Structure 1
Amino acid sequence: MKAPVIVGIDGSARSLRALDWAVEEARLLGAPLRLVHASRLLAWDGALTEEARTALKAERTGWLERAAERARRRRPGCRVETELPAEDPVQALVKAGENASLIVVGARGSGGFEGLLLGSVGLFVASRATCPIMVVPESAPDPEQAPGHIVLGVDKGRSAEHAIGWAFAEADRRGAALIALHAIGTGYGSPRQRVGEQMHLAEALAGWTSRYPDLTVERRPVEGKAAAALVAASQDAALVVVGARRRHGLPGGMALGRVNHAVLHHSRCPVVVVPAS
């Protein structure tokens, strides 16, 4: 069976928008959908009375049940599972992602996910996940109304290969065009320097374009900073796809870097972070 698509549910409108995108990704992948809500308050540790804990569990179970019904309405026949672990939500999602095709979360974590007031669930999970993670901002359109192309950020690091492979496969699944964007900074005015950057981009994509010969691919070197270029491109894209490398000395941890942080915070469309293996 295909590894599931995991989506974090917290009872907010943001998590329902993430759910809609997760349903679409599960359809494209032919994978089941697993809805996860986690809360440390559900643990039996004496912090709540039994009556309060029972009421809390009923509330959170209701969130999951309503979300599952929404998923089935969007995709009749979709196989939907639910999980309600009594643990930290980031840990629960990262754990679920160890055997998943994709994790999908809303852009901010200040809804029902307790204890994450310093940042979004997406940012925390993206720095720890071992599978690709999609972070869906509030500004994202309904997936059925998404534009017909995907933007891929291509850098010169080793993390790019995994992101390139994922983006090509996703564009093929969607029947979408792919824009491979490579920011070349400023001061690259000479024709020789520009040709060199274009050759680098062509070489990075060469194996993948031959593997997907029918895919429309635009190689787009742009002058300026990568973060600004990707955020600008997100205005009319279905997805922005970026890579992340492993952080030295921290097993499972990813170094998102300034570019990925900026894109995760400011993109107008969903962002997929693909970790290097």
Structure 2
Amino acid sequence: MPTQIIVGVDGSAHAWRALDWAADYAVRHGRPLELVHASRALVDDGVIPKDALGRLVAEREDLLAEARQYALKVHPGLDVATRLDRTDPGGALVEGSEHAALVAVGSRGLGGFEGLLFGSVGLYTAAHARCPVLVVPREAPYPAEAPARIVVGVEDRPGESAMAGWAFEEAASRGAGILALHAVGGEFGSPRRRVMEDLELSEALAGLGEHHPDVRVEQLVSDRAVADALVEASRTAALVVVGAARRTGRIGMALGRVNHAVLHHAHCPVVVVPIDR
């Protein structure tokens, strides 16, 4: 059973904030934390002189050690390991996701060739990981200061129960409520359609409340476009949880247009949960 929580570390402000959220998640769920830094610049292929390569490796090891000390200062007793990989960052995080319960990345990093820049490494990780991926923007609050609400986008697709279940479990661990949001992307047209949409949303959540009776649930059927509704709801949320279907016969998830928009524009961390159709 996957246990560890993996977070990409590159020294950027976005990665430090991702570390805050990953460490908080690890503590609340009683899981070990692994800090990963990866770079193809560390490959000993003769391009970089030996002495310069040695200094570069030492620099990156110091970065991981500093991040580990920070995590332990905030969460004494947390099981924290580090890993330095001589490969591309996205590949290292995706490989680690095979044995992880969660992978966390900053929405942007140092940029350039090896930074955790969303749209390159962050996007690759979100699209190819085998486990849920937590994408944390720099402007996200510290976990303890986040609103006590988790938004989950419900589109009435097959397999969404796993995504909703993840959101409910996280809400229970945080003492937060759930906003289950279903957006139809246009006017309802008739009162009957509004009632039908409400009923379908209730059916999609059936049973989850029974397993988590202490989690407050609010349902919202919106006439806005899905991405717009989720981004707006993210203003008052700790997390936005979305689902991405696993690719048939291929590794990773099909993020789709809505998830791309939410990942780029949400005001809080976003969790992409793999779903099976």
* TM-score normalised by L of structure 1: 0.95
For residue 116 of structure 1, report the CA deviation from its aligned partner.
Answer: 7.1
For residue 111 of structure 1, report the CA deviation from its aligned partner.
Answer: 3.7
Question: CA 1:17/1:116 → structure 2, altered by over 3 Å: closer, same or farther?
Answer: closer
For residue 115 of structure 1, report the CA deviation from its aligned partner.
Answer: 7.4
User: 1:161 and 2:161 equivalent?
Assistant: yes
1:260 partner amino acid: N
How far apart, in 2, do the equivalents of 1:64 and 1:73 lie? 14
1:25 partner amino acid: Y
Per the alignment, residue 255 of structure 1 pairs with: 254
For residue 159 of structure 1, report the CA deviation from its aligned partner.
Answer: 4.2
Instruction: List per-residue Cα deviations over 1:25-57 (Å, max 9, x = no partner).
Output: 001110011000001111111121111110110
How far apart, in 1, do the equivalents of 2:14 and 2:116 lie? 15
For residue 97 of structure 1, report the CA deviation from its aligned partner.
Answer: 1.1
Per the alignment, residue 275 of structure 1 pairs with: 274
1:223 partner amino acid: D
Instruction: List per-residue Cα deviations over 1:168-188 (Å, max 9, x = no partner).
Output: 110011110000000012121
Per the alignment, residue 18 of structure 1 pairs with: 18
How far apart, in 2, do the equivalents of 1:12 and 1:224 lie? 35
How far apart, in 2, do the equivalents of 1:201 and 1:33 lie? 35
Check conservation: 1:183, 1:222, Cα contact below 8 A. Answer: yes
2:148 partner amino acid: G
For residue 120 of structure 1, report the CA deviation from its aligned partner.
Answer: 3.7
User: 1:228 and 2:208 equivalent?
Assistant: no
Structure 1: give runs of 5+ residues left out of the alignment. Answer: none
Per the alignment, residue 71 of structure 1 pairs with: 71
Task: For 1:122-201, list aligned pairs within 5 A.
Answer: 122-201=122-201
Check conservation: 1:159, 1:244, Cα contact below 8 A. Answer: no
- Other structure's SS at 2:264 match: helix
Question: CA 1:118/1:167 → structure 2, altered by over 3 Å: closer, same or farther?
Answer: closer
How far apart, in 2, do the equivalents of 1:234 and 1:38 lie? 31
For residue 255 of structure 1, report the CA deviation from its aligned partner.
Answer: 0.6
Check conservation: 1:107, 1:121, Cα contact below 8 A. Answer: no
User: 1:208 and 2:208 equivalent?
Assistant: yes
Check conservation: 1:231, 1:266, Cα contact below 8 A. Answer: yes
Check conservation: 2:8, 2:93, Cα contact below 8 A. Answer: yes
For residue 217 of structure 1, report the CA deviation from its aligned partner.
Answer: 0.5
Check conservation: 1:11, 1:111, Cα contact below 8 A. Answer: no
Instruction: List per-residue Cα deviations over 1:100-136 (Å, max 9, x = no partner).
Output: 1100000014447627778242211010001000000
2:210 partner amino acid: S
Per the alignment, residue 45 of structure 1 pairs with: 45
Check conservation: 1:12, 1:111, Cα contact below 8 A. Answer: no
Check conservation: 1:11, 1:112, Cα contact below 8 A. Answer: no
* Identity rate, percent: 54
User: 1:32 and 2:32 equivalent?
Assistant: yes
Check conservation: 1:103, 1:132, Cα contact below 8 A. Answer: yes
Instruction: List per-residue Cα deviations over 1:62-115 (Å, max 9, x = no partner).
Output: 110000011001101111000001011111001111111100000014447627
How far apart, in 2, do the equivalents of 1:116 and 1:234 lie? 22
How far apart, in 1, do the equivalents of 2:5 and 2:91 lie? 16
Instruction: List per-residue Cα deviations over 1:204-227 (Å, max 9, x = no partner).
Output: 000211211221101111111010
How far apart, in 2, do the equivalents of 1:11 and 1:150 lie? 28
Question: CA 1:128/1:229 → structure 2, altered by over 3 Å: closer, same or farther?
Answer: same
Structure 2: give runs of 5+ residues left out of the alignment. Answer: none
Question: CA 1:195/1:12 → structure 2, altered by over 3 Å: closer, same or farther?
Answer: same
Question: CA 1:111/1:68 → structure 2, altered by over 3 Å: closer, same or farther?
Answer: farther
How far apart, in 2, do the equivalents of 1:208 and 1:243 lie? 16
